[in-house]
């Protein structure tokens, strides 16, 4: 199940960034499951990783390598997360980096590994290493869709976004892919995301752009409240366009980058495991960002709210209860207004005088649902995106290893 269009977008190639995809047979024979990405010399790189303390071996290695040098290659495998695998997992990730380094005649430090799939199983190193050559042979600046398909796990569709924007009178391309469907509540990152631009930007500004764009996109989505062990987002800038990003045009670049990040983040929610609803939760009139997000996540992650959404049941009391238990001090419930797809459902501490069950039923039939909570406490507004909680979500996760 998924919501919205499943059409893969037109992907503008990024000069200086290539992707090659192959089938190694890591979990399912014949399935695209190994992706190699080549980054041109002179590029800059920035990344954010999971804050889960049981972070996967490839996350540990990628962070170490990135601290020492700018990467030349990224290696991504699906079918196995290489998480919860101890010292052997570290050694296995390093072995995969070494295989790429040998094939490309570079140092192992110049390779960053990424993995996604089942946690706690040994990484099939020999299978992955033997397929590196095939992935390298397939490297192409037009390899985005194959790569988007090659990083999927329980996803039902590949996810990509691309745009060309004008900066200082010259075109700049920003293109990216991501994967994610379940175990989604990013904490500094998403499941896996790879975005490249042909703009020239130094590492300090690139990191700033990544943090800001990430904060308004991947850190504003939740499917089930679970932060993965393998979350990572990479942002690469090749500089091939010759357009230099500086303090003067940074905001222009950031607008385009955030656009791409939001599209990718929303595509994860639209393909959330078992999703039949795409849900936007707006919190308005908060005193602080922390307060707004506390209310938003209380609603978005409430199993009772999410199951009501699955049934298209305008059970507004569940939303009211979720707001009331959010970690907000001195919350005056008599000032709160709650709307469902523009239908005012709660006001002055109870059901709105104008509300009817028929209005609520009509609003809940839509595939896209917008819940707006006005706190009337301050000037801060925050938005996040989530899914409903369906029978299919339970089935997918109950059968994941079988």
Beta strands in 146-220 (DSSP E): 159-167, 170-179, 192-197
Residues 6+ apart with CB under 8 A from 380: 285, 286, 287, 288, 289, 291, 292
Structure tokens at 27: 């979990």
CA distances to 39, 140, 367 from 270, in Å? 30, 28, 10
Single out the catalytic residue among 116, 190, 229, 280.
190
Q: Are 100 and 139 in contact (CB under 8 A)?
A: no
b/e code 340-363 from CB counts within 10 Å (16+ = b): bbebbbbbeeebbeebeeebbeeb
Phi-psi region of 312 (alpha: psi -120 to 50; beta: other; left: phi over 0): left
Backbone angles phi, psi at 303, to 5 degrees: -60, -35
Token pair belonging to 314? 């305008």
Contact 346, 316 (CB under 8 A): yes
- Specify whether 288 is catalytic: no
Q: Which residues are catalytic?
A: 190
């Amino acid at each position: 199940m998924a919501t919205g269009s499943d059409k893969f977008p037109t992907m503008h190639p990024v000069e200086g960034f290539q992707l090659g995809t192959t089938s190694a047979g890591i979990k399912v024979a014949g399935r695209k499951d190994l992706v190699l990405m080549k980054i041109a010399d002179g590029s800059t790189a920035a990344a954010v990783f999971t804050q889960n303390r049981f972070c996967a071996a490839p996350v540990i290695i990628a962070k170490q390598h990135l601290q020492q040098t700018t990467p030349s290659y990224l290696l991504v495998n699906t079918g196995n997360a290489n998480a919860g695998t101890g010292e052997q997992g570290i050694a296995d990730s390093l072995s995969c980096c070494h295989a790429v380094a040998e094939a490309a005649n570079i140092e192992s430090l110049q390779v960053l590994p990424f993995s996604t799939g089942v946690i706690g199983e040994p990484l099939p190193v020999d299978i992955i290493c033997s397929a590196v050559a095939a992935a390298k042979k397939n490297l192409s600046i037009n390899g985005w869709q194959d790569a988007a398909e090659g990083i999927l796990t329980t996803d039902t569709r590949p996810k990509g976004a691309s745009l060309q924007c004008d900066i200082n009178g010259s075109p700049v391309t920003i293109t990216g892919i991501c994967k994610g469907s379940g175990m989604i509540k990013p904490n500094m990152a998403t499941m896996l995301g790879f975005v490249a631009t042909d703009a020239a930007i130094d590492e300090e500004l690139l990191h700033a752009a990544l943090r800001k764009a990430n904060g308004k996109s991947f850190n504003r989505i939740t499917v089930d409240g679970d932060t993965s062990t393998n979350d990572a987002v990479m942002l690469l800038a090749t500089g091939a366009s010759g357009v230099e990003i500086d303090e003067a045009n940074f905001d222009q670049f950031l607008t385009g980058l955030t656009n791409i990040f939001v599209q990718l983040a929303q595509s994860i929610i639209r393909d959330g495991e078992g999703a039949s609803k795409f849900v936007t939760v707006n919190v308005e009139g908060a005193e602080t960002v922390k307060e707004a997000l506390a209310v938003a996540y209380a609603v978005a992650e409430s199993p009772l709210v999410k199951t009501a959404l699955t049934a298209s049941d305008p059970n507004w009391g569940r939303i009211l209860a979720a707001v009331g238990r959010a970690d907000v001090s001195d919350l005056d419930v008599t000032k709160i207004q709650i709307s469902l797809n523009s239908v005012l459902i709660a006001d002055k501490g109870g059901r709105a005088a104008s509300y009817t069950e028929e209005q609520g039923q009509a609003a809940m039939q839509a595939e896209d649902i917008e819940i707006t909570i006005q706190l009337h406490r301050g000037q801060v507004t925050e938005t996040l995106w989530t899914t409903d909680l369906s029978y299919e979500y339970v089935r997918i996760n109950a059968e994941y290893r079988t």
